[in-house]
Amino acid sequence: MRIYESTRDKECKASASSAILNGLAQDGGLYMLRDLEELKIDLNAILNLDYYEIAELVLGKLLDDYSAEEIHDCVHAAYEHKFEAEDITPLVKVGDIYLLELFHGPTSAFKDVALSILPHLVTTALKKHGVDDEIIILTATSGDTGKAALAGFKDVENTKIMVFYPEEGVSAVQKRQMETQAGSNVCVASIKGNFDDAQSSVKQIFTNHELASSMKENHQQFSSANSINIGRLTPQVVYYFKAYADLVNRNEIKLGEEVNFVVPTGNFGNILAGYLAKQMGLPVAKFICASNENNILTDFIKTGIYDRNRDFKKTLSPSMDILISSNLERLLYLLCGCDDKQVSQWMNDLQNKGKYEIGEQLLHVLQQDFWADCADDVKTKAMIKECYEANGYLMDTHTAVAYAAAMKFKEQQINDKKLIVLSTASPYKFVGSVYEAINNQHEEDEFALMNKLNTLTGVDIPKNLAHLNEMPILHNNHLAKEEMEQFVKMKLEEKQW
Ligand SMILES: *Cc1c(COP(=O)(O)O)cnc(C)c1O
C-alpha cells in the first residue's frame, strides 16, 4: 500500500482514505505521495478506454487502499448522468490548438470534476474505517467551490455542508446558484465582508477545540472540501490522460509524442494534477502556468522568488484572484527530493516574511517543466473577442487568461509541440464580462444577458444556468462574521437542514 506523507514532516503519514478524511496533515502540511514514477500508466492501454475506465485506472493507483470495486462505485456515482457531455471532458479543436472543456458538470465550473466524486470518496472512507460520525463540511468560497461542493454533497448520507460566501464578492449568477441550492443537508449564508473574512472565520471555527470535543460527543466532526484535500487533487489527474488519448485516437499526435498543457491557475491544484500525470508517464513537454494580474506565480516561475508582499487585485477572473497558491507546496516537496525540513523553512518564511526563495539550481529544475505568463483584464477581454471572431468559439474569462498565455508561448516559439488549453468555466457563468468583451456593451442584468448572448452567438446555455432566475430562493441567511460561530453551533443542533 502507498502511504501519503506530510510535506512539512514526513513522519506524519496516512493511507489515501485517511488523508481524504483528515484533509490537512496534523502538522499543517499537505499530504503527498513520493516515487510517482512507480505508478506508470500504460498509454497504449488507455486508448480504448472511456472516461470512467481511465478514472478507475488512475485513481486505483493513486488511492490504492480503496478496493477496485469501491473506486468503480465512486466513479460511476460521481459522473453517470451528472455531466451534460457524455465523455465528461470533451476536447475541442479551435484554430490550431485544443481546448479541454472541463465545465460540463452540474455547476458549469471545472471544480465539478473533483467535487462530484469527493463526497463518495469521503463516505466510502468513513465506512472503511468504521467511523459513524456525521461529517460536517465547512467551506468559505469566492464563488465556484461553494456551488460545486453544495451540488456534490447534496443529500449524501452522513454528511452536511455549510457554505459561506462574501456578500459583495461573487457574481450575480454565482450568488443565485448558491441561494437556490436544494437538499436536506445543505446550508448557505452570505457574510458581510470579503472572502478573507469568511475564510479566516471558518478557520477559527475549525480550530475551536472546545467545539470539536462537544461535537465528538454528538458523533459529528468537521471536514473540508477545498483543494488541499487529495480527494480533490487526484480526480483531476484523470482528464490529462483522457485528453492525450483523444489526441492519439484522432491522429492529431503519435503515441509517445510530447504535448504542452496551458492551465489558468489560482491555487495551483489543476496544474499540479497535470504534473502528477507527467510523473505517471504522460508525455508532456511544458506546463504553462497562466495568471491574471495577481501574477505572483508568473514572477515565481521566472525568478524563483515567491513574494506575496503586493496588492490583491480584483479581476474579471475572480477564481484566480489569489496570492497564496497552496498546492505549490506539493510541487516544491517533489522538486527538492522530499526534503520536509526545507519545505517547512520556505513555508515559515512565507508566513513570517511573506516571501521565500528557492535558489538558482532548483529554479532551473522547475523551468524544465514549467513556463509562465500573465494577462490583465484588457488582454483577457481582447482574447475572448479575438478567438470568437476568428474561430466562432466562446471562452470564459479564466480560459481566456490561459488562451493569452498559449498565444504568447507560440509567438515566442518556446517549442513546436501541440498546445492544450484547459477550459475551466462556461462563458455563461461570467456572462457580464464575456458579453462586454465581444459586444463592447456593459449591462447589469446577468440573467437577461444570458439570453442575449445565446441569441448573439448561438452557443447553448448550460441547463443548470438556463432557468436559474426562475428557481425559488431557499437560503436567506446574512451574517456579520462575528455571528458565524454562533450560527454554526445553532445549525449543529438541528437534525435536518
Ligand atoms: C478554481 C478555478 C481556477 C483555478 O484552479 P486552481 O486549481 O485553483 O489553480 C480556474 N478557473 C476557474 C473557473 C476556477 O473555478
Query: What DSSP string describes 303-352?
Result: HSEEE--S-----S-GGG--S--TTHHHHHHHHTTS-HHHHHHHHHHHHH
| C-alpha 300, offset from chain centre | 20
Distance, in Å, from the CA atom of 164 to the CA atom of 205, rounded to the nearest integer, reads: 12
Residue 13 CA to residue 26 CA, distance in Å, equals 9
Task: Please give the angle made by the CA atoms of 464, 467 and 472, to the nearest 5 degrees.
Answer: 100
The residue ranges of the chain whose pLDDT is under 50 are: none
Give the nearest ligand 1 atom to 399 CA. Answer: 11
How much is the pLDDT for 86?
A: 93
> Can you give the length of the chain in residues?
497
> Distance between CA atoms of 492 and 136, rounded to whole angstroms?
9
Q: In this structure, what are the phi and psi dihedrals at residue 105, rounded to the nearest 5 degrees?
A: -85, -175
Q: Residue 416: what pLDDT?
A: 96
| CA 171–ligand 1 middle distance (angstroms) | 15
SS3 category, 310: coil
Strand partners, 32: 5
Q: Is 31 exposed, middle or buried (0-12, 13-18, 19+ CB in 10 A)?
A: buried
The secondary structure of residue 291, as a DSSP letter, is E
One-letter amino acid at 384 equals: I
Look up residue 91 and give its three cell numbers: 476536447
Give the separation between CA 126 and CA 143, rounded to whole angstroms.
28
Residue of 13, 40, 82, 111 marked catalytic: 111
Q: What is the dihedral of CA 20, 22, 26, 32, to 10 degrees?
A: 0
Pocket of ligand 1, beta carbon within 6 A: 109-111, 144, 227, 264-270, 319-320, 398, 424-425
Q: Which atom of ligand 1 is nearest to the CA of 269?
A: 7
**Of 110, 147, 265, which is best to mutate to test ligand 1, by the most ligand atoms within 8 angstroms of its C-beta?**
110
For the range 307-315, what are the long-range contacts, defined as Cβ-Cβ under 8 Å and sequence gap of 24 or more? 307/354, 307/355, 308/350, 308/354, 308/355, 309/354, 309/355, 315/376, 315/377, 315/380
Q: Tell me the whole-structure pTM to 2 decimals.
A: 0.95
User: If we measure between CA atoms, which residue out of 137, 144, 139, 165 comes closest to residue 478?
Assistant: 165
What does DSSP say about strands 4-6 and 31-32: parallel, antiparallel, or unpaired? antiparallel
> Atom 4 (ligand 1): residue with closest C-alpha?
266
Beta-bridge partners for 109: 425
Q: Do residues 316 and 381 lie in contact, with contact meaning Cβ atoms separated by under 8 Å?
A: yes
Based on DSSP, count helices (H) and strands (E) in the chain, helices before strands. 23, 16
Distance, first Cα to last Cα, the chain? 39
- The one-letter amino acid at 290: A
DSSP state of 253: S
- The label of the residue with cell 493569452 reads 404
Query: Which of 270, 272, 301, 329 is the best mutation target for the ligand 1 pocket, counting ligand atoms within 8 Å of the beta carbon and taking the most?
Result: 270
- If you ran DSSP here, which 8-state letter would residue 392 be given? S
Crossing angle for the helix pair 118-128 and 68-79, to the nearest 10 degrees: 150
Distance 319 CA to ligand 1 centre (A): 5
Short-list 91, 112, 67, CA closest to 235 = 112
pLDDT at 324: 85
**What pLDDT is stored for residue 256 in this prediction?**
98
Angle at 193 between CA 189 and CA 196, to 5 degrees: 95
Distance 120 CA to ligand 1 centre (A): 22
pLDDT number for residue 336: 95
Residue 278 falls in the annotated catalytic set? no
Residue of 294, 286, 291 lying closest to 412 (CA atoms)? 286
CA dist list (Å): 480 to 172, 196, 207, 484, 487: 20, 13, 20, 7, 10
Closest Cα to residue 39, out of 277, 335, 243, 365? Answer: 277
